[in-house]
Structure 1
Amino acid sequence: MRIRLANPRLALWFFVVLSVLLLGAGLGWRQPLNVDEERFLGVALEMLQNGAWFIPHRAGEIYADKPPLFMWTVALFVQLTHLPKVALYLPALIAGAVTTGCLYDLGRRLWRRRVGVISALLFLCTYQSYSILQTGQIDGFLALWTVLGIYGLCRHLLLGPDWRWYYLACAAMGFGIISKGVGFLPALMLIPYAYAARKGWSGVVAMPSGSTKKWWLGLLVALAAIAVWLLPLLVIVAQGSTDSVAYAQEILFRQTASRYANAWDHREPFWYFFVQVIPKYWIPILFMLPWLVPAWRKQLLRHDGRVLVLLGWVVLVLVFFSISTGKRKLYIFPAVPALVLVSAPLIPWMLRRWFSNRPKGRTVFVSLTVLWLCAWCVRGFVEPRLEGINPHESMMREVAMATQNADLVLVDWREGHWVFAQQPLVHFGFKDTQPLEHSVMWLRIHPKAFALVPAQDMSRCYDPQKARSVGDTSRAEWFLVGADADNGQCQAALPDKAYRFAWQTPL
């Protein structure tokens, strides 16, 4: 496909704008619908409300699952736009634009301009790009730091030496780590690079002797980026707060190494990504593999270091996440930009092989690409209209009216109940083991309050005849009960800590 933009900088901005138009389709209509989006938007809004920037909270309780950089960014965009439901999606949109621009520029520099064009278009055509970058999840934001790490390392290892780009890559990895623990992944690129450089493969840069200190300086740059969050956190911990110490232990140890080695959620077999994710989310690259794999083999036999570094990194990322017991489809998205970059140079060759008449092949390629991109753009506008508003939003408005904004006790709640709450909330911890019994005891002490409980096991403590159904969300039917619905069958001591929370400005 020919984009007639002779000026590389003009072409770069063309693809950046194209990515914003495609990935931003439907922005403003999208609603936070899944639990991740609800959670991260809520944490960001609570940061703005309580000013606790270094230790995030969820409905007043410390939230220790993820570092805070993504939530900081969402909070920043909330402040700039005053539109929380738009601000949530802007980090991933920016990440998509930067990734597209970086792929165009790397393809142009590593091979030629046409490869840069194909790299940008192939990334925008890949299903997982839309699956991740049109959502309000951390992995879309992580893509920003991942691609900057890849870009900086490629400029240094394959086009350098250029220590400035190396240090930028290290800083990006540091910020990636305080977005999500796996932000260090671009560093794995050094493994295939070290082999290629040692064996004298073409396409890689041999570093000058005596550069050991420069390499280690990159680690200090990464640590400096991490210190933007970690240093203030350690200062807070040093002040001796029990909650802050528990948070530091959870986020620095249990949610990193422990979760990787022995995940308690999303447990899947080793082959999960290869059987259930790649066949769907790496389309259309998947369809090219019968031709790409033999071509990559020939390039490796010719000792092309560019292919070894990029393709080797893709393999290492897949192995890294496959070894972990916990797996989700979005985990392997960081590998997509490098896979696109190593695939793009072979597409002109595949077109010539598929179509003996070259103009015809180009016409088919252009037509399919345009049709595919248009389809994704239309989907961006249509899908939010079909999904409608979050059912939690409607439910919580109805609950607030029915209870006249009285205190509401949450039982087995989900993030949507908290994010869209219109009234003061009470809960006993997101992972409370006896939430139903605790809600009964609270209502006995506070008879003017109400409780929102799921249908499952409700009759154990409440009279179903005195409960009011308020809707189905989060795979459960929810009922509103007052103190008069207590059937007297449940007895339990109240937990040591009850969390009270109310939005100053409800969504």
Structure 2
Amino acid sequence: MRLTHSPRIELLLLLLLAALMVGAGIGLRQPSNVDEERFLGVALEMLQNGNWLIPHRAAEIYPDKPPLFMWTIALFTRLTGAPNLALFLPALIAGVVTTACLYDLGKRLWNRRIGVIAALLFLATYQTYSVLRAGQIDGFLCLWIMLGLYGMVRHLLLGPAWGWFYVACAAMGFGIISKGVGFLPVLMLIPYAYAVRKGWSGVVRMPGQGRAWWLGLGVALAAIAVWLLPLVLYVTLYGDEASRAYVSEILLRQTAQRYANAWHHQEPFWYFFLKVIPKYWLPLVLALPWLVPAWRRQLSKHDGRVLVLLGWVVLVLLFFTLSSGKRKLYIFPALPGLVLVMAPLVPWLLRRWFAQRPRARKVFIGLAVFWFAAWFARGFIEPIKEHLNVRQALMAEVAGMTQGAELMLTHWREGQWLFARQPIVHFGMDAAHQTQKAADWLRSNPTAFALIQADELAQCFKPDKARKVDDHSAGEWFLVQAEADNGQCHERSASVPFRFAWQLPHL
């Protein structure tokens, strides 16, 4: 691969390719799953209620994630006036920044050609589109992981560069208040320390710098304090029981406890290696039979660059493997490190595969072009194929049938709140006995309606007095009023319902 352009033109072309591949169809997309609906709704509710420290979901505190991602969506919504666009912009920016960082690190660690290859490998991987085209935290987390990785590599392998080390520490801090695992780049210090101790080449030794190293922890804590310090002060001075419970939930249960004893997405230890990597790290995994022996040879030569990068990838995979809770997107942070350590071997692989097979080389190039073109086209096809969100259609139908009257939601999902076109009432997303509570509430609110699932309707209501909502593939739902009460349900708990209404049209 001969490079005839200047490094600046190379970088601009790669950034353009990243923007086109990740951003294809971005103006046509809308929230299409509960994660996207949740994060967009929380961000819009922040804009409406002005509470930036404690996220809310239909007036109920949302305790699962720190707020930085939602802040970013709210900011882009304010700047663009288009929530459906704002939801996907953080991941698009992360994809462009990651591409730039991989190119620059490849160029500095090896040469310009390796930088180009590293960026292209990242953009060619299936999981890149699976994560970065979604409006989810993991795409945004990629930004902070990559900045952390970039700063650590500049310092540990190309340094000393204390400024970049502190950038990495700040990025990890912001990553933590995006999603708790934002600290992952610090794991790079483990293989780095081993390489320094054993005298491996390619790593920078920095003896007698203990104070400078510890300052990095202070920088990370300062980044975390951007949110945590105002939160603690607010809860201490003005907090109620719910806000104090939120602090405990977000700092303890949703971090260490969730990692050690996950209550969702439980999978066996081999899940990533047998069900995720073979599919989501295509086409990279196809080269592993040649790459593993090559890495072994590089490690036998004590190449510290390979040890630090490959060791970090292994540690990230091990970290997520040890947790009982696993989702396919969890291991995405390891991908930039993997492509960076793969890139130097690609020219050797291509020569080995195609030196005596010029026709096969042309087929390979054709397949690569088709692969990129197919992902670009998919960005426009998917929004058209998905069409209208089923929960959006459901809530539009409900608003028409109830003429905008107050609506009690039971066993609801994020999209029902996000797309609500009328005032809604609920007792909490995970509350017990929701149908019974709805029946009791309707007795005091005879002009209101409740939305009840089909399998719970007969418990508290007369089916012949319920109105079925047209099927939008969002489950089978019925609308009822107080007149449909069968008198069998009497919920005497002292639960106070949450009330919420969007003040302005937003979607």
TM-score scaled by structure 2?
0.97
1:319 aligns with 2:318: yes
Distance (Å, rounded) in 2 between the aligned partners of 1:396 and 1:44: 20
| 1:352-391 aligned within 5 A | 352-357=351-356, 363-391=362-390
Report if the CA contact (8 A) 1:197-1:206 is conserved.
Answer: yes
1:265 aligns with 2:264: yes
Distance (Å, rounded) in 1 between the aligned partners of 2:67 and 2:236: 19
1:115 aligns with 2:108: no
For residues 335-384 of structure 1, what are the alpha-carbon distances to aligned partners after superposition, in whole Å with 9 as ceiling and x for unaligned? Answer: 00000111111111111111123765654443222211111000100111
Which residue is 1:221 aligned to? 219
Per the TM alignment, residue 463 of structure 1 is displaced from its structure 2 partner at its CA by 1.7
Which residue is 1:231 aligned to? 229
Q: Could you tell me which runs of 5 or more consecutive residues in structure 1 were left unpaired when the two chains were aligned.
A: none
For residues 462-497 of structure 1, what are the alpha-carbon distances to aligned partners after superposition, in whole Å with 9 as ceiling and x for unaligned? Answer: 122222222456862111112222111111115432
Task: In structure 2, give the amino acid aligned to 1:374.
Answer: A
Structure 1 pair 191/145, CA: closer, same or farther in 2 (3 Å)?
same
Structure 1 pair 494/505, CA: closer, same or farther in 2 (3 Å)?
farther
Per the TM alignment, residue 206 of structure 1 is displaced from its structure 2 partner at its CA by 0.9
1:90 aligns with 2:92: no
Task: In structure 1, give the amino acid aligned to 2:343.
Answer: A
| 1:41-56 aligned within 5 A | 41-56=40-55
Which residue is 2:346 aligned to? 347
Report if the CA contact (8 A) 1:155-1:162 is conserved.
Answer: yes
Per the TM alignment, residue 456 of structure 1 is displaced from its structure 2 partner at its CA by 1.7
Distance (Å, rounded) in 2 between the aligned partners of 1:138 and 1:422: 26
Report if the CA contact (8 A) 2:151-2:164 is conserved.
Answer: yes
Structure 1 pair 48/222, CA: closer, same or farther in 2 (3 Å)?
same
Which residue is 1:274 aligned to? 273
Report if the CA contact (8 A) 2:309-2:341 is conserved.
Answer: yes
Report if the CA contact (8 A) 2:266-2:324 is conserved.
Answer: yes
Distance (Å, rounded) in 2 between the aligned partners of 1:473 and 1:226: 42
Per the TM alignment, residue 143 of structure 1 is displaced from its structure 2 partner at its CA by 0.1
Structure 1 pair 360/2, CA: closer, same or farther in 2 (3 Å)?
farther
Report if the CA contact (8 A) 2:141-2:182 is conserved.
Answer: yes
Matched residue SS, 1:13 = helix
Which residue is 1:29 aligned to? 28
Which residue is 1:146 aligned to? 145
Matched residue SS, 2:45 = helix
Report if the CA contact (8 A) 2:421-2:502 is conserved.
Answer: yes
Matched residue SS, 1:457 = helix
Report if the CA contact (8 A) 1:351-1:361 is conserved.
Answer: no
Distance (Å, rounded) in 1 between the aligned partners of 2:391 and 2:320: 33
Per the TM alignment, residue 241 of structure 1 is displaced from its structure 2 partner at its CA by 2.1
For residues 186-225 of structure 1, what are the alpha-carbon distances to aligned partners after superposition, in whole Å with 9 as ceiling and x for unaligned? Answer: 0000000000111111111111x32110000000000010
Q: Could you tell me which runs of 5 or more consecutive residues in structure 2 were left unpaired when the two chains were aligned.
A: none
Matched residue SS, 1:28 = helix
Distance (Å, rounded) in 2 between the aligned partners of 1:233 and 1:90: 26
Which residue is 1:249 aligned to? 248
Distance (Å, rounded) in 2 between the aligned partners of 1:115 and 1:203: 16
Distance (Å, rounded) in 1 between the aligned partners of 2:110 and 2:357: 21
Distance (Å, rounded) in 2 between the aligned partners of 1:474 and 1:8: 51
Report if the CA contact (8 A) 1:391-1:473 is conserved.
Answer: yes
Report if the CA contact (8 A) 1:157-1:204 is conserved.
Answer: yes
For residues 267-325 of structure 1, what are the alpha-carbon distances to aligned partners after superposition, in whole Å with 9 as ceiling and x for unaligned? Answer: 11111111111111000011111001111111111111111111111110111001111
1:456 aligns with 2:462: no
Which residue is 2:210 aligned to? 212
Report if the CA contact (8 A) 2:191-2:312 is conserved.
Answer: yes
Which residue is 2:426 aligned to? 427
Structure 1 pair 184/253, CA: closer, same or farther in 2 (3 Å)?
same
Distance (Å, rounded) in 1 between the aligned partners of 2:359 and 2:118: 21
Task: In structure 1, give the amino acid aligned to 2:183.
Answer: F
Distance (Å, rounded) in 1 between the aligned partners of 2:116 and 2:299: 24
Per the TM alignment, residue 394 of structure 1 is displaced from its structure 2 partner at its CA by 1.2
Which residue is 1:102 aligned to? 101
1:61 aligns with 2:53: no
Task: In structure 2, give the amino acid aligned to 1:156.
Answer: H
Report if the CA contact (8 A) 2:410-2:435 is conserved.
Answer: yes
| 1:172-187 aligned within 5 A | 172-187=171-186
Which residue is 2:4 aligned to? 4
Report if the CA contact (8 A) 1:428-1:495 is conserved.
Answer: no
Task: In structure 2, give the amino acid aligned to 1:241.
Answer: D
Distance (Å, rounded) in 1 between the aligned partners of 2:354 and 2:137: 41
Computed over aligned residues only, the root mean square deviation of the Cα atoms, in angstroms, reads: 1.3
Distance (Å, rounded) in 2 between the aligned partners of 1:3 and 1:109: 16
Structure 1 pair 115/438, CA: closer, same or farther in 2 (3 Å)?
same
Report if the CA contact (8 A) 1:438-1:495 is conserved.
Answer: no
TM-score scaled by structure 1?
0.97
Per the TM alignment, residue 99 of structure 1 is displaced from its structure 2 partner at its CA by 0.4
Per the TM alignment, residue 454 of structure 1 is displaced from its structure 2 partner at its CA by 1.3
Task: In structure 1, give the amino acid aligned to 2:4.
Answer: R
Matched residue SS, 2:372 = helix
Distance (Å, rounded) in 1 between the aligned partners of 2:367 and 2:280: 18
Report if the CA contact (8 A) 1:3-1:117 is conserved.
Answer: no
Which residue is 1:74 aligned to? 73
Report if the CA contact (8 A) 1:146-1:183 is conserved.
Answer: yes
Structure 1 pair 89/419, CA: closer, same or farther in 2 (3 Å)?
same
Report if the CA contact (8 A) 2:390-2:474 is conserved.
Answer: no
Distance (Å, rounded) in 1 between the aligned partners of 2:472 and 2:39: 19
Structure 1 pair 58/267, CA: closer, same or farther in 2 (3 Å)?
same
Report if the CA contact (8 A) 1:126-1:285 is conserved.
Answer: yes
Structure 1 pair 238/135, CA: closer, same or farther in 2 (3 Å)?
same
Which residue is 1:200 aligned to? 199
Which residue is 2:469 aligned to? 470
The alignment of Structure 1 onto Structure 2 pairs a total of residues equal to: 505
Structure 1 pair 68/473, CA: closer, same or farther in 2 (3 Å)?
farther
Report if the CA contact (8 A) 1:351-1:358 is conserved.
Answer: no
Per the TM alignment, residue 16 of structure 1 is displaced from its structure 2 partner at its CA by 1.2
Distance (Å, rounded) in 2 between the aligned partners of 1:313 and 1:83: 38
Report if the CA contact (8 A) 1:38-1:419 is conserved.
Answer: yes
1:20 aligns with 2:19: yes
Distance (Å, rounded) in 2 between the aligned partners of 1:136 and 1:343: 28
Distance (Å, rounded) in 2 between the aligned partners of 1:481 and 1:61: 24
Task: In structure 1, give the amino acid aligned to 2:209.
Answer: S
Report if the CA contact (8 A) 1:204-1:306 is conserved.
Answer: yes
Structure 1 pair 199/329, CA: closer, same or farther in 2 (3 Å)?
same
Report if the CA contact (8 A) 2:173-2:223 is conserved.
Answer: yes
Report if the CA contact (8 A) 1:441-1:494 is conserved.
Answer: no
Task: In structure 2, give the amino acid aligned to 1:24.
Answer: G
